[in-house]
Amino acid sequence: MVLVKQTRKGMGTELGVYLAVAPDHVDSAKRAIAACLAWLAEVEATLTRFDDGSELCRLNAAAGEWRPVSALLYAVVEQAVAAARASGGLFDPTLLARLESLGYDRDYKAIARRETAGAQGKGATTSATRGHAAAHTQRAKDKPDGAWRDIQFDEARRWIRLPRGCQFDLGGIAKGWVADAALERCFAAHPNVIVDVGGDMRVRGVADDGAPWPIGVSASRDVAGRPAPEQPVVALRQGAIATSGANNRWWFRNGQRQHHLLDPRTGQPARVWIADDRDDQNVAGDPQSLIAAATALAPTAAHAEVAAKVALLRGYPQALRNVEAAWDAWLAQAADDGRVVTPYHDAGVALMLTLGTGEVVASSNMQAYLETLGGGGDVWLS
């Protein structure tokens, strides 16, 4: 087999598609990749929150009213609400007002590691002119209250009603959802493929050498301001992998460092490890107890993306304990009734956490996951 691949920028990140095919299937693989990347551009135009004309922004502008939406937007909003429910609200896609009030009101490239107070981005300007500015502002000030619980769906008509003042953000699930949808939509005829949307990957089959796809967990490097001595490599035949963290994704608001991983319980950025390169000192807390990056393995990329973020909110070692207990309970259920069901949240997940020291710790079910839901994969250090 030969490897056919293409990468480009999109959705505010790096996109990549990799296919292992027989030599006489190279042309069809290239056509499939081109069609996939064209579709991803359409998805970005629909789901971005940085363009008033996007369908997501129009839905937010109509908060308090029923609005017809496309099948694409309906599907991803519905899955985001399902993830919020399954996680008990630890994953909350309705924190956009709070996120904007902390300075993330425009494309991240415009605020990366900069002071945002006093600088009005496009998102901040349009938020003030949308139909529910007063409710939006109040929600940003108050402790978040789980507005996702009040979102209504009309499946027959494909309409959605956001509660008044609610502003929906797909940043915590969109990349994974897109990777899943792209694999199923664009590569049904190709058994060996990886769809990579900013590091959230959906995997099927094998690489060009016939072995499971090897995926380096690069978040373990440069976490504590110095390269980690070893990098984990995970090999997968099926399923997904996603990594979440804030070590390289932060900015300042009134001199205080902020990041995009909000804790719904407080409305504030979660306590995670961030190496502060302003003065070459690590000031985010105890590097032995705070997580710098969480990598989750799950049956789908959307599931993995949510699981990684929830792990960061739970912290170390609680995040590991939760998925380990859920794995044991899932196996017991499967043994009792013969069914293999993987609920959206903890069950069916394995975790690899990179601490502030650069140490990597994994949940005890990692190897079992790779041998079962991972399709017979493996993990090693390089």
Q: Is the pLDDT of residue 160 over 50?
A: yes
pLDDT value of residue 58: 97
pLDDT value of residue 140: 44
Choose the weakest-confidence range: 63-67, 122-126, 305-309, 333-337: 122-126
157 or 331: whose pLDDT is higher?
157
Question: Which amino acid, one-letter code, is at 375?
Answer: G
pLDDT value of residue 377: 86
pLDDT value of residue 364: 97
Q: Is the pLDDT of residue 280 over 90?
A: no
CA distance 99 to 145: 14
Token pair for 176:
């994974």
Q: Is the pLDDT of residue 125 over 50?
A: no
Q: What is the arithmetic mean of pLDDT over 170-188? A: 95
Token pair for 3:
């490897």
Choose the weakest-confidence range: 32-46, 165-179, 233-247, 345-359: 345-359
Q: Is the pLDDT of residue 123 over 50?
A: no
Choose the weakest-confidence range: 43-57, 84-98, 320-334: 320-334
Q: What is the arithmetic mean of pLDDT over 143-166? A: 91
125 or 286: whose pLDDT is higher?
286
Structure confidence by residue, pLDDT tens digits, 210-269: 999 999 986 555 555 555 556 889 999 999 999 998 877 888 898 888 888 999 999 999
Q: What is the arithmetic mean of pLDDT over 109-115? A: 85
SS (H, E, C) the chain: CEEEEEEEEECCEEEEEEEEECHHHHHHHHHHHHHHHHHHHHHHHHHCCCCCCCHHHHHHHCCCCEEECCHHHHHHHHHHHHHHHHCCCCCCCCCHHHHHHCCCCCCHHHCCCCECCCCCCHHHHHHHHCCCHHHHHHHHHCCCCCHHHHCEEECCCCEEECCCCCCCCCCCCHHHHHHHHHHHHHCCCCCCEEEEECCEEEEECECCCCCEEEEECHHHCCCCCCCCCCCEEEEECEEEEEEEECCCCEEEECCEEEECCEECCCCEECCCCCCECCCCECCCCCCCCCEEEEEEEECCHHHHHHHHHHHHHHCCCHHHHHHHHHHHHHHHHHHHHCCCCCCCCCCCCEEEEEECCCCEEECCCHHHHHHCCCCCCEEEEC
Look up the CATH superfamily of 55-169. ApbE-like superfamily (1.10.3980.10)
Token pair for 10:
């999109």
| Distance, first Cα to last Cα, the chain | 25
Q: Is the pLDDT of residue 124 over 50?
A: no
Could you give the count of Cα atoms lying within 13 Å of 157 in the half-sphere of its Cβ? 9
10 or 3: whose pLDDT is higher?
3
- Edge-to-edge strands, sheet with 378-381: 213-216, 232-236, 378-381
Q: What is the arithmetic mean of pLDDT over 12-30? A: 96
Domain ranges of the chain: 1-49+175-205, 55-169, 212-381
The arrangement of secondary structure in 212-381, i.e. its CATH architecture, is: Roll (3.10)
Alpha-carbon torsion angle 144, 352, 373, 180, nearest 10 = 50
Structure confidence by residue, pLDDT tens digits, 317-355: 999 999 999 999 888 877 676 665 555 578 899 999 999
The contacts of residue 188 (CB under 8 Å, 6+ apart) are: none
pLDDT value of residue 39: 96
